[in-house]
């Protein structure tokens, strides 16, 4: 739909980075209009996870593989901001921007072994972010370490007069303290997030993480988010409704792709939209329009709004009871091969994979995925921390403490290893950030 | 076939159907309290018919018409409702289009303060309750002049509700018989205007100009308390004057700054309301009344002939003088209303609720706006009546022409003549002259001072009124009239004045 479209203005987040001297290296691939959890449904083709080519993964595979074509079973990055996660993971850039509406930044971060931050809704301007769900979208950041995420957030956060949903006050850049004492910290473990679909490896890492905090003096308690089971369905109704509305502007008239038909305006619109949108997008538009029909509005849209409030209140209640930060998995498992992923359709996969991340968007809270360890297959697994609204600094402080403790390994990419071995000899942390 | 008996508010007007029998008079209809399509209406002022209705003939039944109006007034502001692009009606096509107006992806609406103030002021002038919290919604439909595929409006909770608009109609045969009516103002809401589409049938294409897309509109919804075209036209006229006095809209119908849609239905008194039709885009005051009356007639004829009224949208064909169904409105539209997620609720304050230390740039104080409201036309007219003992209908006439009131007041300042005389001269001779020459008050060659002086002369009986009229003739540029004047003055002075002196004096006076 946006073939050949070159935006005549910069998004606020992009402009802010440029103003601070950042160099824009390029734009990354994603699922079309950010709809998807695999970064497989974009017009430029699917994104390949750099870990598919890592020494860690290849070595594990050699042990059990039967000498097939090395590239045939490459892994997905997760999505929808998979291109950005891959770019950061493969050391091509310092940081990348993504978007997060239901987990689209955190999910690929976990699969690619990088830090994926979803700021509080309203903290970072959405001016220039192509909207998916206006009431849930935020620009997200992908970086190799938590300190870098804080650096980027410090530049991006604050009031933007061009976005009426941002906070009123400016935000100053900040550095994270190096937390040593976690004894005053209370970590919450939501029991509803323990689902049978969760892989045993992720579950055991989750448990290990909880123990880590406890062993260092933090209070770790089980909490309840009772409306968790309704969030996927609620999200589906609200997301598709907003999508139907937001996509109404793509008609080929002012910009972007326009079909060849010129019989009538209506015919032109219909053909342009059929040609310009993929199946996933069209499906969501149809669903959304259904929910917004006069006869359905109360039963679907308004009901979903009410359920959304209940979900948001679950979090408020938990934070009010003394919990500082919640600890949950980010994904159900490590990254899967592309051939396996595409066995189910986009909607099914999204419903499955958004399960830990998407309630956070409904509540507008900040959350960050931090890579913890490699799986038995040599692939990254990350865990998610969820914080109080507008307490992004506190959230990142806890995440930084965790990151230091777990010492997630650097990705070993053959080519890079050969050229830059000197860099890696001295670095213990999974970062080559500019210090 | 017997012609239907109509209850009209405005007897004496000539209708398509001639009067029933010889010299019949139509009675004025008592407006119904309830409204069409089940909406609750405001109760109108009870009216006493001046002329009793003729008894219906055997087999005939009376009809009552119900008219409601939806008015869209373009807000007089420098920039558009949600974007910073300029508002200017004469600019080259597509030269005032911001990224947001063109619906470029990633752009977001930012509310224009002046537009909110305009809405509040209009609401206050119409005695509305101003909602301290109002919301914005998206109204979806696909059309080439609507780039985003939706219009941002206020459907759930508009900025102002429950007001009233008082207007006057003349009843009876004489212009002097005026009565005041009120129509309820259901609500006032802020919304975006659409772009303009121009159909080029020659090349089978439509040209889109987005200059107007996103301009702020005030939608004023009037309750169906009116019962004929004249009432509707009078209500619109008064609303125009109010908007112009407030400065919130220039409300010029010819320039599309004020557009009116009418909802019309007919029924037999005592029976439930009939099916209503909507007549859209009435762009002139004159045709407004015509279109409404035509539609009322059409509905009555249709029903009298055993037909049915469709709940449809119609437009007015100016050339043919009739309403016709609009082609592209088949079936009912579902606008799929949804809250506008990019605009938080609009919160307004008054002096009691204003948060301490609030930045005045960021808040709107209703009480402050109320204090600053300019004088409304109704008050101005009342003052004229009180101050000058003027007849009410004259006060209306003075306000009805741009600049005329000011002219009158300037004349009053400089003359010793009686207000009644001044009024008469301004409204009859002067205005008549302007109309004849097709001039606006601002273009008048006669200045207030000149007229004042002339009236003074008249007052002192230095010249007769016919002479004075001749003076204006001269002023109009008829030099030979001066000779006539000289003759008149000679006669007035009983032949004692020297013609040469008279000429000098006159020329001196006239050249001023």
Cα angle at A312 between A306 and A317, to 5 degrees?
Answer: 120
In chain B, which residues have their Cβ closer than 8 Å to the Cβ of A290?
none
In chain B, which residues have their Cβ closer than 8 Å to the Cβ of A130?
105-106
Spatial distance between the Cα atoms of A127 and B99, rounded to a whole number of angstroms: 11
Cα angle at A418 between A63 and A59, to 5 degrees?
Answer: 5
Write the residue in B108, B109, B338 that is nearest to A292 by C-beta: B338
pLDDT digits (tens, 9 = 90+) for B176-224: 678 899 999 999 999 999 999 998 888 888 899 999 999 999 999 999 9
A113-134 mean pLDDT: 97
Active site residue A104: yes
A299: distance to nearest CA of chain B, Å? 14
A365-374 mean pLDDT: 98
pLDDT of A353: 87
Give the tokens for residue A390: 């507008």
pLDDT averages per 10-residue partition of chain B, 512 residues: 44 33 34 36 36 41 93 96 92 95 96 97 97 97 93 96 93 76 97 92 88 97 95 95 96 92 93 92 85 94 91 88 75 88 96 87 92 95 91 89 90 87 88 87 86 82 68 60 62 61 68 61
| Whole-prediction pTM | 0.85
Give the tokens for residue B272: 């439930």
* Chain A contact present for B328, CB below 8 A: no
Write the residue in B148, B210, B341 that is nearest to A248 by C-beta: B148
Spatial distance between the Cα atoms of B336 and B341, rounded to a whole number of angstroms: 14
A248: distance to nearest CA of chain B, Å? 5
Give the tokens for residue A218: 């933090």
The secondary structure of residue B443, as a DSSP letter, is G
pLDDT digits (tens, 9 = 90+) for A184-206: 999 999 999 999 999 999 999 99
Q: Contact B334/A128, CB-based, under 8 Å?
A: no
Backbone dihedral angles phi then psi of residue A85, each to the nearest 5 degrees: -65, -40
| Residue partners of A348: CB distance under 8 A and separation at least 6 | none
Write the residue in B102, B105, B344 that is nearest to A130 by C-beta: B105
* Chain A contact present for B491, CB below 8 A: no
Cα angle at B308 between B306 and B314, to 5 degrees?
Answer: 135
pLDDT at A433 over 80: no
- From chain A, which residues contact B within 8 Å (Cβ)? 2, 7-9, 11, 126-131, 133-135, 161-165, 241-242, 244-245, 247-251, 253-255, 262, 265-266, 269, 289, 292-294, 297, 301
DSSP calls for B152-188: EE--SS-SEEEEEEEEEEE-SSSTT-EEEEEEEEEEE
Spatial distance between the Cα atoms of A363 and A135, rounded to a whole number of angstroms: 10
pLDDT of A197: 93
Higher pLDDT, A73 or A75: A75
Strands B129-130 and B277-282: unpaired
Cα angle at A386 between A381 and A389, to 5 degrees?
Answer: 155
Write the residue in B142, B150, B342 that is nearest to A164 by C-beta: B342
Spatial distance between the Cα atoms of A164 and A20, rounded to a whole number of angstroms: 24
CA atoms in the 13 A half-sphere facing the CB of A126 = 31
pLDDT at A367 over 60: yes
* Burial classification of residue B487, based on how many CB atoms lie within 10 Å of its CB (0-12 exposed, 13-18 middle, 19 or more buried): middle
In chain B, which residues have their Cβ closer than 8 Å to the Cβ of A251?
142, 149
pLDDT digits (tens, 9 = 90+) for B50-103: 333 344 343 468 899 999 999 999 999 999 999 999 999 889 999 999 999 999
A325-331 mean pLDDT: 97
The full length of chain A comes to 435
A395-402 mean pLDDT: 97
DSSP calls for B12-24: T---SSPPSSSS-
Q: For chain B, what is the total number of helices (H) and then of strands (E)? A: 13, 17
Instruction: Give me the residue spans of the domains in chain B.
Output: 64-339, 377-511
Indicate the Cα dihedral angle B435, B437, B442, B448, nearest 10°. -80
pLDDT of B317: 87
* Chain A contact present for B342, CB below 8 A: yes
| Residue partners of B53: CB distance under 8 A and separation at least 6 | B7, B25, B26, B27, B28, B62
Q: Contact B342/A165, CB-based, under 8 Å?
A: yes
B137: distance to nearest CA of chain A, Å? 11
What's the sign of the alpha-carbon dihedral A58, A64, A66, A71? Answer: negative
Q: What percentage of residues in chain A have a pLDDT greater than 90?
A: 77
Q: Contact A248/B337, CB-based, under 8 Å?
A: no
In the A/B pair of chains, how many CB contacts fall below 8 A? 95
C-alpha closest to that of A378 among A50, A39, A40: A50
Q: Contact A294/B336, CB-based, under 8 Å?
A: yes
pLDDT of B223: 96
* Chain A contact present for B16, CB below 8 A: no
pLDDT of B281: 76
pLDDT of B57: 40
Interface test with A, best of B79, B83, B104, B141 (most A CBs within 10 A): B104
Assess contact for A123 and A81: CB atoms under 8 A: no
A315-337 mean pLDDT: 97
C-alpha closest to that of A162 among B134, B321, B99: B99
* Burial classification of residue B55, based on how many CB atoms lie within 10 Å of its CB (0-12 exposed, 13-18 middle, 19 or more buried): exposed
pLDDT of B30: 34
Spatial distance between the Cα atoms of B53 and B30, rounded to a whole number of angstroms: 11
* Chain A contact present for B140, CB below 8 A: yes
Give the tokens for residue B205: 């294409």
Q: Contact A248/B341, CB-based, under 8 Å?
A: no
In chain A, which residues have their Cβ closer than 8 Å to the Cβ of B108?
126-127, 162-165
Spatial distance between the Cα atoms of B27 and A429, rounded to a whole number of angstroms: 94
Active site residue: A37, A80, A81, A241, which one? A80
């Amino acid at each position: 739909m946006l073939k050949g479209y070159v935006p005549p203005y910069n998004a606020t987040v992009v402009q802010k980075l440029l103003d601070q001297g950042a160099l824009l290296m390029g734009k990354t691939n994603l699922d079309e209009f950010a709809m998807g959890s695999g970064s497989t449904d974009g017009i430029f083709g699917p994104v390949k996870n750099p870990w598919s080519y890592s020494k860690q993964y290849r070595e594990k595979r050699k042990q059990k593989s039967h000498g097939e074509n090395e590239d045939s079973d490459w892994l997905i990055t997760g999505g929808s901001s998979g291109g950005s996660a891959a770019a950061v993971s493969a050391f091509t850039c310092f940081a990348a921007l993504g978007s997060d509406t239901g987990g689209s930044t955190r999910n690929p971060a976990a699969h690619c072994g990088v830090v994926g931050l979803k700021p509080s809704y309203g903290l970072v301007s959405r001016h220039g972010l192509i909207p998916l769900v206006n009431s849930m979208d935020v620009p997200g950041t992908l970086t190799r370490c938590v300190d870098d995420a804080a650096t980027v957030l410090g530049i991006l956060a604050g009031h933007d007069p061009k976005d009426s949903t941002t906070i009123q006050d400016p935000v100053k850049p900040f550095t994270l303290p190096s937390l040593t004492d976690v004894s005053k910290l209370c970590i919450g473990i939501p029991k509803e997030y323990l689902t049978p679909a969760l892989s045993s490896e992720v579950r055991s890492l989750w448990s290990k993480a909880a123990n880590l905090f406890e062993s260092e003096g933090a209070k770790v308690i089980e909490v309840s988010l009772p409306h968790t089971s309704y969030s996927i369905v609620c999200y589906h109704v609200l997301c598709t409704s907003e999508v139907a509305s937001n996509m109404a502007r793509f008609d080929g008239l002012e910009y972007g792709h326009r079909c060849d038909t010129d019989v009538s305006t209506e015919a032109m619109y219909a053909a342009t939209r059929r040609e310009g949108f993929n199946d996933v997008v069209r499906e969501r538009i149809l669903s959304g329009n259904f929910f917004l029909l006069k006869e359905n509005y109360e039963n679907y849209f308004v009901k979903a709004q009410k359920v959304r409030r209940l979900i948001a209140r679950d979090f408020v209640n938990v934070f009010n009871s003394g919990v500082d930060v919640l600890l949950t998995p980010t994904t159900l498992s490590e990254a899967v091969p592309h051939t396996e992923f595409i066995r189910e359709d986009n909607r099914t996969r999204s419903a499955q994979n958004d399960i830990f991340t998407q309630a956070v968007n409904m509540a507008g809270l900040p959350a960050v995925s931090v890579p913890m360890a490699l799986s038995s297959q040599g692939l990254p697994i990350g865990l998610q921390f969820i914080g109080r609204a507008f307490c992004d600094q506190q959230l990142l402080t806890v995440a930084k403490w965790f990151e230091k403790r777990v010492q997630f390994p650097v990705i070993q990419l053959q080519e890079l290893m050969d050229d830059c071995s000197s860099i890696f000899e001295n670095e213990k942390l999974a970062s080559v950030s500019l210090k | 076939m017997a012609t239907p008996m109509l209850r009209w508010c405005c007897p004496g007007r000539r209708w398509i159907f001639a009067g029933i029998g010889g010299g019949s008079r139509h009675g004025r209809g008592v407006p119904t309290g309830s409204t069409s399509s089940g909406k609750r209406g405001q109760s109108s002022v009870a009216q006493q018919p001046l002329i009793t209705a003729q008894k219906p003939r055997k087999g005939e039944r009376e009809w009552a018409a119900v008219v409601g109006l939806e008015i869209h007034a373009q807000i007089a502001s420098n920039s558009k409702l949600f974007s910073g692009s300029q508002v200017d009606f004469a600019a080259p096509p597509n030269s005032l289009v911001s990224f947001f107006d063109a619906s470029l992806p990633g752009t977001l609406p930012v509310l224009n303060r002046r537009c909110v103030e305009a809405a509040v002021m209009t609401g206050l002038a119409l005695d509305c309750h101003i909602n301290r919290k109002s919301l914005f919604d998206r109204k979806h439909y696909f059309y080439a002049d609507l780039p985003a595929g939706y219009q941002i409006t206020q459907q759930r909770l508009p900025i102002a509700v429950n007001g009233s608009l008082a207007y006057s109609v003349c009843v009876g045969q004489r212009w002097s018989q005026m009565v005041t009516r009120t129509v309820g103002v259901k609500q006032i809401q802020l919304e975006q205007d659409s772009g303009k589409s121009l159909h080029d049938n020659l090349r089978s294409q439509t040209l889109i100009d987005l200059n107007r897309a996103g301009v702020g509109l005030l939608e004023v919804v009037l309750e169906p308390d009116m019962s004929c075209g004249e009432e509707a036209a009078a209500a619109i006229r008064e609303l125009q004057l109010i908007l112009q006095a407030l400065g919130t809209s220039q409300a010029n119908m010819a320039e599309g700054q004020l557009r009116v849609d009418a909802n019309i239905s007919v029924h037999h008194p005592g029976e439930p309301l009939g099916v209503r039709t909507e007549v859209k885009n009435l762009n002139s005051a004159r045709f407004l009344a015509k279109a409404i009356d035509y539609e009322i007639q059409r509905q009555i004829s249709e029903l009298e002939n055993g037909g049915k009224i469709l709940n449809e949208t119609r437009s007015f064909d100016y050339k043919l003088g009739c309403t016709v169904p609009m082609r592209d409105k088949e079936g009912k539209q579902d606008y799929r209303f949804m809250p506008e997620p990019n605009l938080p609720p609009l919160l307004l304050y008054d002096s009691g609720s204003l948060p301490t230390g609030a930045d005045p740039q960021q808040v709107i104080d209703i009480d402050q706006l109320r204090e600053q409201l300019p004088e409304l036309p109704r008050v101005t007219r009342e003052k004229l009546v009180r101050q000058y003992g003027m007849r009410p209908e004259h006060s209306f006439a003075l306000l009805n022409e741009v600049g005329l009131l000011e002219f009158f007041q300037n004349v009053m300042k400089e003359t010793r003549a009686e207000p009644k005389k001044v009024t008469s001269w301004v409204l009859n001779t002067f205005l008549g002259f302007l109309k004849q020459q097709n001039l606006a008050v601002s273009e008048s060659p006669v200045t207030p001072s000149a007229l004042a002086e002339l009236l003074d002369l008249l007052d002192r009986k230095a010249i007769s009124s016919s002479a004075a009229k001749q003076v204006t003739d001269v002023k109009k540029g008829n030099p030979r009239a001066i000779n006539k004047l000289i003759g008149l003055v000679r006669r007035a002075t009983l032949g004692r004045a020297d013609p040469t002196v008279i000429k000098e004096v006159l020329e001196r006076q006239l050249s001023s």
